[in-house]
Each structure stands twice: as structure tokens, then as C-alpha cells.
Amino acid sequence: MNAKPLTDIERLNARYRSPMMSFFMRRSVTHSDAEDLTQEVFVRLISSYSGEVENVDAYIFQIAANILRDRGRKEMVRNSEMARQNLESMASIDVFDPSRILLGRESLRAVSRYLDDLPEKTRDIFILFRVEGLHQEEIASGHNISERAVRKHIAKAFEHVMRKLNEEGHSQ
């Protein structure tokens, strides 16, 4: 049985695939995306590699850095396009539409009623967090409780309000 000799690209793949995956994953890329990006590095390498590169390490990782940069640019363009589309769709909404104002007021009254159902401490914590905009650590300090307890009170209030809204068919 004769083993087929490895090509330059196969040797580079064997040597660099694992470090390349680590390179991408250290930059908050998912494992799946790291696989795709690593594959793209080797596709670019095949199309441009002549076998006469002075510093292969630098060359391969420069390709990887360029791919990440290209990906970042594409994401910025995609995100700015989505933001533009959102602004356009929001522009068509009449914020002073009387029916929307009425629905908003009714929903606000309902939420206020639902909050009245809660224990006073839970209601106060929820209002401080959602309405007053205080940070959880500030609320915890003011009530002499842990931040975890604050999160539990907020979650309890939120779940109660959402359940009541769903039961009565209010839109969120």
C-alpha cells in the first residue's frame, strides 16, 4: 500500500486548521462560523499560494485577519441597512393616531391595576427599576436585599403583568 504524498495545501491544513479555529473563536466567533471562516482561509490560500511565501505563519494569519475585517464590514452594512428599513417603517406610523393613544392609555391603566395586585415591596422594586430607571444594585442597597432578590422581585412582577395582559387579551 503506497500512501499518497501530502500536497503543500494538505500539510498547511494539517498544521494550521486547529490554530486557525482558535484564532477565530478567541474573537467571539461561534464554532460553526469558525469552521466556515477557516475553510474560507484555505480557499483563499489555494487561489493565491504559490509555495514561495517567506513567512507562511504571517501570510495565513493575515488572510484570516482580512476575512474577519471583511466580515465585520459586511455586518456593519447589513446592520445599517436594517436600521434604515426600521426607520422607514417607523416613519409610516402615525404616533398621534387617536386609536393608538386610546389603546396605550388603556394598556397603561391595566398595567397599573396589575401592579396593584402585587405585594408592596415587589411593586416598588419593579417601579424603581422599570419606571425610575434605577440600577439593580442601587435598589438592592436601598432595600437592604441582594441583587439576586431584586432580580426575583422584578421577574415576579413582570411575569404577573404579562400573564394578566395575556389573559385579558391586551397587545404588548
Cα distance between residue 105 and residue 95, in whole Å: 13
Cα distance between residue 169 and residue 110, in whole Å: 11
**Contacts made by residues 69-73, CB under 8 angstroms, sequence distance 24+:** 71/37
Q: Mind listing the domains of the chain with CATH numbers? A: 8-91 (1.10.1740), 98-168 (1.10.10.10)
Ordered per-residue pLDDT tens for the chain, 172 residues: 455 555 777 888 888 889 888 888 888 778 888 899 888 888 888 887 666 777 878 888 888 899 888 888 888 888 888 887 777 777 666 667 777 778 878 888 888 888 899 999 999 998 898 888 889 999 999 999 999 999 999 999 989 988 888 887 755 4
pTM: 0.44
